[in-house]
Amino acid sequence: MGFGFQDFRLLEATLPGIRQISSIDDVHQADWDLLICEDVDLRPVGGNLYVIALGGLVIGPTNDDEDLLIARQEYLQDDGEDQVRKPVSVAVEFSTPDPVPGRFETLIADDLVPLLLAGHWHSTLLAYRPADGKVGEPSLAIPGVERLLVGSDGAAYAAHFKRPGGKAWCLTLPPRANLVAWVEAAIGHWHSLDAKRFPGTLDWTNQAWEWLTPGEIDAAKQVVEAMEEKRRIEGLEEAAMERFNQARALARSGPLRLLTDTGKGLADAVRDAFRDIGFVVRDMDEELTDRDALEDLRVSPLDRADWVALAEVKGYTRSQGKAEDLLNLTGRFGQRYRRTEGKEPDAYWYVVNHHFGTDPTARPAVLQSSDRDVDSFGAVGGLGIDTVDLFKLWRDVVRGRIAPEDARALFVGVTGRFTYESVKVDESEADAG
């Protein structure tokens, strides 16, 4: 219960009569002897069932004290009781202070200890007494159990104890323990305790490595190699997806704002895009010294510091841009520039992210229904720039598909509407680095 397909297939090879269930209610508990589960609350499980539990939620109580519950620390960590202290173990030295069944000794040393040493935080067993619907104070001290492995801080990570009613035992192990090996060891040990329910150890002809034929050994090695390769590929996939999610988050807080934002976020994205293309950009909001607002940006080519475009950035949900924005840019901002700089600006750039709630491929051109206004704007050096085109050009520059100097040349001296078609390349050969 709680295992994936691959884990179940391994168990099925070890215990041919096993059945996979998603809930304890899927079976009549009295018909079965053993429950093998991962991350399961065992409170609904009858006392007649032997249990092997990896990870887990609530694992106890024990036969000695049915009011004392045993749980994994990670389960208690999610109980919402912030005021309750929840011990966490980071020990690096371990011991077995209680008598340990002989069949468990090798597995403790060869499986559990390396498993814990490979991590920093250890899945810890805690005991607690529920009261008034609350957890109470959890404790590392757990009476009535055989502690199989304990840290130098007193935390127990694996235990073996008799379940309530005294008819069955529970073996609780940390997550990622070697499930099949522990199942074999547990059934072998329980055979010595309850030969009626466990009439023998697992079939040695299926389980003993030293008696496999050469053909079986070669085939088994291939199975192990295939499983290791699958885990390696799954790890690569997880790492790649993590990198993609990080890149997506970075894009949404950065260049993608050209297509999604308005206000300061949009202005910052336009500023950064022009800088990536190779322009020198002054952010006039950062230079504002009085209450009279200036244009958003002043943009110059790298090799022509005396050439200046006044850029105003706007974002609209429905409008394709507004004619009054053009008049404000050429009139109010242009007049102030002439007064302070003693010359005309070389260009006026009206940068608009419009209809930004829709797919960029379906958006109309900037000021599409205002050709006359665009012509008048162009006559005084004005250029209307859709952020969709700016994004495509920025992306091609960053990906090396167009040289920055060629990208800058598409703006300087150009009036009317700015348009740009992305460079067509074979995506299978592009961006090899």
Q: Is the pLDDT of residue 81 over 70?
A: no
Same domain, 179 and 265: no
Going by pLDDT thresholds of 50, 70 and 90, the confidence category of residue 216 is confident
Cα 383 to Cα 417: distance, rounded to the nearest angstrom: 6
At 305 the pLDDT is 87
**CATH no. for residue 334?**
3.40.91.30
Going by pLDDT thresholds of 50, 70 and 90, the confidence category of residue 289 is low
Same domain, 248 and 289: no
At 83 the pLDDT is 41
The verdict on residue 426 lying in a domain is no
State whether residue 316 is helix, strand or coil: strand
The verdict on residue 49 lying in a domain is yes
Range list of H helices, 41-177: 73-76, 102-107, 113-117
Going by pLDDT thresholds of 50, 70 and 90, the confidence category of residue 15 is confident
Same domain, 65 and 132: yes
At 5 the pLDDT is 66
Same domain, 302 and 312: yes
Q: Give mean pLDDT, residues 88-96.
A: 92
> Bridge partners of 151?
94
Higher pLDDT, 431 or 276: 276
Cα 377 to Cα 309: distance, rounded to the nearest angstrom: 13
Q: Mean pLDDT, the chain, as a whole number?
A: 87
Residue 319 CB partners (closer than 8 Å, separation 6+): 354
Q: Tens of pLDDT along 147-158?
A: 999 999 999 999
Q: Tens of pLDDT along 343-370?
A: 999 999 999 999 988 899 989 999 988 8
Q: Tens of pLDDT along 35-61?
A: 999 999 999 999 999 999 998 789 989
Q: Is the pLDDT of residue 80 over 50?
A: no
> Which residues form the domain of 221?
212-252
Higher pLDDT, 312 or 199: 312
Higher pLDDT, 379 or 226: 379
Nearest to 71 by CA among 154, 4, 156: 156
Higher pLDDT, 223 or 367: 367
Q: Give mean pLDDT, residues 97-116.
A: 92
Q: Is the pLDDT of residue 432 over 50?
A: no
Structural tokens at position 178: 């070697």
DSSP 377-420: HHHTTEEEEEHHHHHHHHHHHHTTSS-HHHHHHTTTT--EEE--
State whether residue 364 is helix, strand or coil: coil
Whether 350 and 383 have beta carbons less than 8 Å apart is answered as yes
At 422 the pLDDT is 84
* pLDDT winner (highest mean) among 194-208, 262-276, 361-375: 262-276
Same domain, 65 and 128: yes
Same domain, 205 and 216: no
The verdict on residue 140 lying in a domain is yes
The verdict on residue 423 lying in a domain is no
Number of domains in the chain: 3
Higher pLDDT, 404 or 293: 404
Q: Give mean pLDDT, residues 329-334.
A: 92
At 292 the pLDDT is 66
Cα 205 to Cα 223: distance, rounded to the nearest angstrom: 18
Percentage above 70 pLDDT, the chain:
90
Structural tokens at position 332: 């109010």
At 247 the pLDDT is 92
DSSP label at 174? Answer: -
Q: Give mean pLDDT, residues 384-397.
A: 95
Q: Give mean pLDDT, residues 325-351.
A: 93
Same domain, 216 and 200: no
The verdict on residue 433 lying in a domain is no
Nearest to 121 by CA among 145, 98, 155, 97: 155
Q: What is the CA radius of gyration of the chain?
A: 35
Whether 86 and 126 have beta carbons less than 8 Å apart is answered as yes
Q: Give mean pLDDT, residues 58-85.
A: 75
DSSP label at 131? Answer: B
Cα 285 to Cα 288: distance, rounded to the nearest angstrom: 5
Going by pLDDT thresholds of 50, 70 and 90, the confidence category of residue 342 is very high
Going by pLDDT thresholds of 50, 70 and 90, the confidence category of residue 76 is confident
Among residues 234, 252, 270, the one where a domain terminates is 252
> Bridge partners of 131?
134
Residue 113 CB partners (closer than 8 Å, separation 6+): 94, 149
Q: Give mean pLDDT, residues 10-37.
A: 87
Same domain, 219 and 203: no
The verdict on residue 151 lying in a domain is yes
Residue 176 CB partners (closer than 8 Å, separation 6+): 54, 115
Nearest to 108 by CA among 201, 173, 176: 173
